[in-house]
Each structure stands twice: as C-alpha cells, then as structure tokens.
C-alpha cells in the first residue's frame, strides 16, 4: 500500500485569529500523511527535501470534516514525491494541495537508492 488517508473534524483550538483552520496546523497534518506515504513506498528512514506548489484555494472552517490524502506522484533513484490533497466533505475539488518530496536515507543520513519492484 502506498496511499494514506486521514479524516478530521476541525475544532475551535485549530483556528487562527480569522476563525479559519490555521495553515501551519494543516501543513503539519499534510507532512505527516506525506511522510507515512513516502515510507510505505521507500521503506523506513526518509527525510524531507522539499515542499512545493502548496495552494490554499479556500478557507476551512470550524466543524468542517476534511479528508487528507497522500498518493505517490513520482519517484526517482533516491527520492519520492507525494501529492497531498485536502477535501472538505460535500465538495468535489480539493481545497488545499501540495507536493512533498522525501529522500530515502541510510544510517548516516546519506541518500540511498529506493528498491524498485
């Protein structure tokens, strides 16, 4: 399995001063999903090398139920890029998405080759 899914109901403590979901909190959840997805694909011990093309298209409100999905978008010799989408229940298109890239590393933290099936 290489995909990962998490569903959450937004709570008051997760809102910012504008009363919408704080972007930094959402990024933490997205990084967690992407990290698990990358390890399912590349094996344990990966490290974040880049977070790109993150777009917040619309606010997420208190009480919204969101689904965060991570899917492998592409992989290279040592890296894997995961597309993370965040969709509010009742909507078709993702409200937020981004690309999270991880490098598989050895015990010394050096890039290691990802085994190909």
Ligand X SMILES: CC(C)(COP(=O)(O)OP(=O)(O)OC[C@H]1O[C@@H](n2cnc3c(N)ncnc32)[C@H](O)[C@@H]1OP(=O)(O)O)[C@@H](O)C(=O)NCCC(=O)NCCS
Q: Candidates 26, 82, 103, 112: give the one binding ligand X (CB under 6 A).
A: 103
Select the residue whose beta carbon is closest to ligand X and give its number: 76
Q: Candidates 6, 20, 27, 105: give the one binding ligand X (CB under 6 A).
A: 105
* Min CB(9)–ligand X separation in Å: 28
* Min CB(69)–ligand X separation in Å: 20
Asked if 26 contacts 60 with a C-beta cutoff of 8 angstroms, the reply is yes
* Residues 13-52, mask of contacts with ligand X (x by CB under 6 A): ----------------------------------xxxx--
- Contacts with ligand X by CB under 6 A: the residue count is 13
What is the SS3 string spanning 6-54? EEEECCHHHECCCCEECHHHHHHHHHHHHHHHHHHHHCCCEEEEEEEEE
Read off the tokens for 35.
Answer: 């990290």
Phi, psi of 57 (to 5 degrees): -85, -30
């Amino acid at each position: 399995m290489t995909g990962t899914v998490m569903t959450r109901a937004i709570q008051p403590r997760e809102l910012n001063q504008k009363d919408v979901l704080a972007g930094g909190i959402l990024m933490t959840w997205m990084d967690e999903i992407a990290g698990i997805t990358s390890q399912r694909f590349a094996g344990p011990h990966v490290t974040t090398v880049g977070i790109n093309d993150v777009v917040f298209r619309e606010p997420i409100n208190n009480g919204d139920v969101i689904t965060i999905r991570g899917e492998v978008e592409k992989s290279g010799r040592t890296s894997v890029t995961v597309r993370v989408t965040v969709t509010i229940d009742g909507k078709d298109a993702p409200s937020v998405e981004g690309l999270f890239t991880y490098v598989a590393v050895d015990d010394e933290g050096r890039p290691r080759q990802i085994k190909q099936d």
